[in-house]
């Protein structure tokens, strides 16, 4: 045995070229949670689903804010209140971000406004309790403003009345490669005419239900078309706001209940 071998084996030193294992750094704990109120215009990038989440996570990291990165994730998470499909215009969308340090409102606002994706605007933001339930679990309904194309108010108005008077509205929905039958009626709380047009504009409050799903604007318009006896086409759709369970004290109908 030569001297080099004796040195490596006799002293307990690590063999030459072997890097000692380093324990992974412990993530900084979450300390502050901000709720963002956001506007997305028709000029925003046509992103939805995973692409939208990736774009927002990259934006948050670029702000320089001390964003919290949950264990097992490579990037900070932006938690949207509800899925936002590509191309949908939104006026008061909700999203939560979590920070590892306490930051004043002015700094969070400045950092975000400097990096927001094209077509997005920060309407408001406020600090919420870190231990509150996840935002998505608090969303119970949404208000949509929908252009209805293909008929005038004389046809749409009676269809709205018939819709609201119905106890059941069986519809079919594609789920993967399977077509399923469901009842649309309990997923729609209110429909009201807001502009006689043309085009006719209606405001619809749809419900988010953990088992039944949610009422989709296109499905509501399709049902109105069936009731009117005329195929209707969806024009511009704007999601005006998401409704949280705590918002139901504002006097509007409770999601799931008929007006």
CATH number at residue 48: 3.30.70.580
Report yes or no: 236 and 154 within 8 Å, Cβ to Cβ: no
* pLDDT in the model for residue 252: 47
| Tens of pLDDT, residues 144-166 | 999 999 999 999 999 999 999 99
* pLDDT in the model for residue 84: 87
In a domain, 1, yes or no: no
In a domain, 257, yes or no: no
Do 128 and 143 fall into the same domain?
no
In a domain, 148, yes or no: yes
* pLDDT in the model for residue 15: 59
Task: Tell me the residue range of the domain where 189 lies.
Answer: 139-250
Do 121 and 143 fall into the same domain?
no
Point out the domain boundary residue: 73, 107, 132.
132
In a domain, 87, yes or no: yes
* pLDDT in the model for residue 79: 92
How many domains, in total, are found in the chain?
Answer: 2
Could you tell me where the beta strands, DSSP code E, fall in the chain?
32-40, 79-80, 89-99, 120-128, 139-149, 170-175, 178-183, 188-195, 200-209, 213-214, 233-244
Point out the domain boundary residue: 102, 132, 162.
132
In a domain, 14, yes or no: no
CA atoms of 94 and 24, how far apart (whole Å):
34
Segments of the chain scoring below 70 in pLDDT: 1-27, 249-259
Do 202 and 238 fall into the same domain?
yes
* pLDDT in the model for residue 239: 97
Point out the domain boundary residue: 81, 105, 132.
132
Do 178 and 152 fall into the same domain?
yes
Q: Work out the number of other CB atoms within 10 angstroms of the CB of residue 239.
A: 22
In a domain, 16, yes or no: no
Task: Supply the CATH number for residue 227's domain.
Answer: 3.30.70.3190
Do 204 and 120 fall into the same domain?
no
Do 63 and 101 fall into the same domain?
yes
Name which of 184, 202, 186, 200 is nearest 143 in CA terms.
Answer: 202
* pLDDT in the model for residue 82: 93
Do 121 and 159 fall into the same domain?
no
Q: Token pair for residue 250? A: 């504002």
SS3 45: coil
Could you tell me which residues come within 8 angstroms of residue 174 by beta carbon, excluding any fewer than 6 positions away? Answer: 180
């Amino acid at each position: 045995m030569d001297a080099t071998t004796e040195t490596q084996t006799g002293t307990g030193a690590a063999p030459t070229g072997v890097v000692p294992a380093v324990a992974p750094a412990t993530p900084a704990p979450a300390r502050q949670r901000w709720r963002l109120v956001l506007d997305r215009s028709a000029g925003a990038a046509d992103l939805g689903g995973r692409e939208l989440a990736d774009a927002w996570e990259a934006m948050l990291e670029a702000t320089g804010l001390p964003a919290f990165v949950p264990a097992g994730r490579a990037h900070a998470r932006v938690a949207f209140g509800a899925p936002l499909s590509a191309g949908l215009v939104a006026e008061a969308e909700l999203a939560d971000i979590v920070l590892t340090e306490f930051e004043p409102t002015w700094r969070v606002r400045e950092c975000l406004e400097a990096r927001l994706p094209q077509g997005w605007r920060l309407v408001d933001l406020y600090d919420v309790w870190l231990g509150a339930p996840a935002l998505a679990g608090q969303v119970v309904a949404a208000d949509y403003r929908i252009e209805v194309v293909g008929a005038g108010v004389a046809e749409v108005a009676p269809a709205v009345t018939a819709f609201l008077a119905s106890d059941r509205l069986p519809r079919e929905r594609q789920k993967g490669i399977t077509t399923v039958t469901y009842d649309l009626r309990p997923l729609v709380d209110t429909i009201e005419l807001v502009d006689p047009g043309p085009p006719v504009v209606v405001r619809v409050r749809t419900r988010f239900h953990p088992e039944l799903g949610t009422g989709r604007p296109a499905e509501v318009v399709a049902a109105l078309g069936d009731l009117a006896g005329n195929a209707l086409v969806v024009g511009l759709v704007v999601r005006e706001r998401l409704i949280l369970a705590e918002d139901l004290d504002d006097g509007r109908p409770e999601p799931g209940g008929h007006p």
